[in-house]
Structure 1
Amino acid sequence: MPAAKASPPRPAPATVVITQRLRAGREPEFRRWQAEVNDAAATFPGFLGAEVTPPGDAGAEWSVLYRFDDVAHLKHWLDSATRRDLLARGTGFFEQPSTQHVLVDEPDEEVATVVVAHPVAPGREAEFVAWQDRMTEAERTFSGFRGSELHRPIPGVQDEWTIVYSYASAEHLDRWLASPQRKELLAEAPDFRDFEVHRIANPYGSWFPPTGSGSDQSPASWKTALSVLVGLYPTVVILTLAIDELWPSAPLWLSLLIGNILSVSLLTWVVMPVVTRALGFWMRPRTAPDPRTDLLGLVCSVGFLTLAALFFYLVTRVFWTLP
């Protein structure tokens, strides 16, 4: 019996983050030039989007993000003559050469991320940064390391220094957290050991629990959002109509509070378990990702929402006169 032919891996979306320090007084020209660069990038194959972020109150660097559907398309844009010409025209806008970081999504891995918040005493900032640099260098030596970011305090918003680091899986992360190297670094700086560690979990929690098929990979974000809408829309409409019929004189703020409490409870323990089982073939396919399965799940979800909208229209406008 011939061996089954393995499906080729699907391309992973790729992002480039560019930071650049703008010269004083050049912002209007820079914005026009940057819009032209964004328009040029949008004409290249695989372009997914661009985002320009101005510096914060305490910063001076602009950040520009370009996202493509795979590394090859991103590289085609980065190496293109079109981009080189645009960069040559914009050289005079910046105080120094820009920095560039390429990030590649890895959909076959369940990335585990941790946020660590450190309170740092005034005057100890440089010492803390040096110690954190040593910590990051140690993190890099462990298998599965995906990246680390250091965020400074924001006056009036956040007093702690925040470090976000990621590993390819929870196992890789746990290996680092329990490692002798990390314990040694913590022992080097007892003044910085007063910190909080927070793991970042699936944003929809137990609505999308791991399956028993051996794969712990979370569903794609767009599938998660659409499936939540499938459960949320009819739940909210039914509760809104029911509350209005049962308590028509209820204050708006109170009826909304009651509706939200009921909808969250129903979604968590009744609706979403049904939705996730019904769409399980699409959200967590047992075989390799298949565009036909993705299309079928999308059609089912959109079709259900369309029928639900039609049903509620007929109920509230044709058969009964309701809000």
Structure 2
Amino acid sequence: MQRRERSTSSPVTAPEAVVAAAEPVTVTVARDVRGDQREAFERWAAEVLGLAAEFPGNLGTSLLRPGPGSTLYHLVYRFADGESLARWERSTERQAALQRVEHLTDRVDYAHVAGLDSFFTALTPARPGPRWRMTVLTVAAVFGITLVFQLLVSPHVTSWPLPLRLLLSAVIVVVLLGYVVMPALTRLFARWLHPSRY
């Protein structure tokens, strides 16, 4: 699920469909920073990302700096669910921070992504790390979950019809991949996945 919104002055919050999500949610805020305000903006970004990181349910934050010839910064926030995101977006801390940044930027775009898409959308910024690294990490995660399934679960369901065994395997792999394994691995291997950010 993804939705983009654009604003130049008023704060933007996640739509109801995202707030209702019981799955991880990622927000990417792209700000076009005025050329003479980059240092001030980076100080502000460090402050606001630090505030967001302290909120319950936050799974991580990052600042993606513009490439050569660009003034577009990306602030990325990940939350465990839509309600955690909503608490941050409605907070007095965020409202105060937004009032201090408006004169530093000319344009802002918001993107809200929920579910499994958030792992891949959030990790494809303007200067992403090598895609093969995310592929390797995903294959390793699927292999690990599948191996554990074969060792611990398969022996107990051998009498089940093949379609049911495959369905059970698929459900376990997808749920663990989306809610447990990939969130942990992307945080653990963040520097390896995106060396240009650090």
Q: TM-score, normalised by structure 1?
A: 0.34
Deviation, structure 1 residue 59: 2.7
SS in 1 for 2:73: strand
**Candidates 76, 81, 85, aligned match of 1:74:** 85
**Candidates 44, 55, 64, aligned match of 2:55:** 44
Deviation, structure 1 residue 42: 1.4
Deviation, structure 1 residue 29: 1.5
SS in 2 for 1:16: strand
Deviation, structure 1 residue 34: 0.8
Distance 2:94 2:138 in 1: 31
Partner AA of 1:77 in structure 2: W
> What corresponds to 1:227 in structure 2?
144
> What corresponds to 1:103 in structure 2?
113
Distance 1:103 1:62 in 2: 18
> What corresponds to 1:117 in structure 2?
none
Deviation, structure 1 residue 25: 2.2
Deviation, structure 1 residue 286: 2.6
Deviation, structure 1 residue 58: 4.2
Distance 1:226 1:277 in 2: 10
Partner AA of 2:113 in structure 1: L
> What corresponds to 1:277 in structure 2?
150
Distance 2:140 2:106 in 1: 43
Distance 1:63 1:51 in 2: 8
Deviation, structure 1 residue 223: 7.5
Superposed, 1:20-59 pairs within 5 Å as 20-59=31-70
Indicate whether 1:92 and 2:103 are aligned: yes
Distance 1:11 1:61 in 2: 31
Distance 1:32 1:286 in 2: 49
After superposition, the Cα gap between the structure-2 partners of 1:64 and 1:274, relative to the gap in structure 1 and judged at 3 Å, is closer
**Residue identity (%):** 23
Unaligned runs of 5+ in 1: 1-9, 108-112, 114-145, 155-199, 205-219, 229-272, 299-323
After superposition, the Cα gap between the structure-2 partners of 1:33 and 1:226, relative to the gap in structure 1 and judged at 3 Å, is farther
Deviation, structure 1 residue 221: 4.7
Cα-Cα RMSD:
4.2
SS in 2 for 1:26: helix
> What corresponds to 2:71 in structure 1?
60
Distance 2:65 2:100 in 1: 20
Deviation, structure 1 residue 27: 1.7
Partner AA of 2:84 in structure 1: H
> What corresponds to 1:195 in structure 2?
none
Question: 2:33–2:106: 8 Å Cα contact kept in structure 1?
Answer: yes
SS in 2 for 1:95: strand
Distance 2:139 2:89 in 1: 27
SS in 2 for 1:15: strand
Q: Which contiguous aligned blocks of 4+ residues in structure 1 show a shift greater than 3 angstroms?
A: 220-223, 273-276
SS in 2 for 1:57: coil
Question: 2:24–2:81: 8 Å Cα contact kept in structure 1?
Answer: yes
Distance 1:47 1:100 in 2: 18
Distance 1:61 1:13 in 2: 25
Partner AA of 2:144 in structure 1: S
Relative contact order, CA 8 A, sep 6+: which one is greater?
2
Aligned length: 133
> What corresponds to 1:203 in structure 2?
135
After superposition, the Cα gap between the structure-2 partners of 1:226 and 1:69, relative to the gap in structure 1 and judged at 3 Å, is farther
Unaligned runs of 5+ in 2: 1-20, 155-165, 182-198
Question: 2:23–2:115: 8 Å Cα contact kept in structure 1?
Answer: yes
Q: TM-score, normalised by structure 2?
A: 0.53
Indicate whether 1:17 and 2:32 are aligned: no
